[in-house]
Structure 1
Amino acid sequence: MTSRNYSFLEIPLDFPKFDFSIQEDEGKLTIFDALRKRFLILTPEEWVRQHMIAYLTKYQGFPKSLFALEKGLRYNHLQKRFDILVLDRNGRPFLLLECKAPEVQLSHKTLEQIATYNTKIGAPYLGITNGRQHLFFGLDKESANYTQLSTVPQIHT
């Protein structure tokens, strides 16, 4: 392996075991993204993102065609980028997810970050994960507050 620090690969994540295609390219590890159909540089956040995508598609039944990954949006004249957006079957935003590195603690600030992005996107559900902890929230339209959910929200057919 290269001199780069890949110790995050040793941190146990709270996901089933997945068999990812990982290779070294020009001294950096890369991971195959099955949705974008290309290899991406393997960062701690990408490691968590690929696990979450695999979990949602293989265990929760989310169709791969409903995913949008790392798309840009403008907020207060700043260019931002969300991690994962799952659309509903009508093409509307459904679940917006923010992925953090395994060593990053999830906090109210993490939820505020994704809720801020969601003011532009308008998904009824949010999720935050560091791979070890996953939190999901639903938007109460009347109060405009988020309530923590006990399970992953499901797309209804």
Structure 2
Amino acid sequence: MQKLNFPEYSFRFKNSENKTAAFDEIRKKFILLTPEEWVRLHTVQYLIQQKGYPKTLINVEKQLKLGKMIKRYDIVVYKPNGEIYIIVECKAPKIKITQDTFDQIARYNMQLKADFLMVTNGLDHYYCNMDYNKEQYNFLAEIPIYNMNDL
């Protein structure tokens, strides 16, 4: 798999019928390794190892109902009280991050009401916090480090 713009992480792999799967420690199962999944696995490790978020507050690939449509978010980090703190949208490395990508995560966030958004293709990472009073997002250099007192 392609080298990403994240620190090196170790993953468990298995091969079956000429397909590679990697173990996702959040979902607690092996997942078929696609380029987007590779980014998702790295992003989860980044949140845990670099930013200190507890695994118990991270959720991966769950359904979300937007109006009459069913969508899937990539990663959500919860606050200890169950409110959503961060939404992450992951794309494959070959997918360029565009305004459409931000529009997609903003649509998800209209329902989820997260404090922070992260968009990544594994090579480029964008972070922003939500200003609900001004109905805009403000770009940041980094996503915050986990600090229970801030939540």
TM-score normalised by length of structure 2: 0.94
Q: Within the alignment, does 1:136 sit opposite 2:94 as a pair?
A: no
Q: Distance in 1 between matches of 2:79 and 2:145?
A: 9
Between 1:69-78 and 1:48-57, the stretch displaced more is 69-78
CA contact (8 A) 2:63 2:72 kept: yes
| Match status 1:156 vs 2:147 | yes
In the alignment, what sits opposite 1:113? 104
Alignment of 1:27-66 (within 5 A): 27-66=18-57
1:87-129 residue CA offsets vs partner (Å, 9 max, x unmatched): 0121110000000001111111101000101111110110000
3-state SS, counterpart of residue 153 of structure 1: coil
User: Any idea what SS the aligned residue of 1:35 has?
Assistant: coil
1:101 matched residue in structure 2: 92
User: Identity rate of aligned residues, in percent?
Assistant: 39
Q: 1:79 aligns with which of 70, 93, 116?
A: 70
Q: Which runs of 5+ in 2 are unaligned?
A: none
C-alpha separation in 2, matches of 1:156 and 1:58: 14
**Cα pair 2:74 2:90 within 8 Å, conserved:** yes
**Is this contact kept in 2: 1:100–1:130, CA < 8 A?**
yes
Structure 1 letter corresponding to 2:125: H
The one-letter amino acid of 1:144's match is E
- Tell me how far apart the structure 1 counterparts of residues 5 and 118 of structure 2 sit (CA, whole Å): 15
With structure 1 as the length reference, what TM-score do the two structures score?
0.91
Letter in 1 for 2:37: E
Instruction: State how far apart, in whole Å, the 1-side matches of 2:114 and 2:68 are.
Output: 21
1:14 aligns with 2:43: no
The one-character-per-residue Cα deviations of 1:59-85 (angstroms, maximum 9, x if unpaired) are 110000001111111113111000000
Q: Can you list the C-alpha shifts for 1:22-64, whole angstroms capped at 9, x where unaligned? A: 1112221100001111101001110000000011101110000
The alignment yields a C-alpha RMSD, in angstroms, of 1.0
| Number of residue pairs matched by the alignment | 148
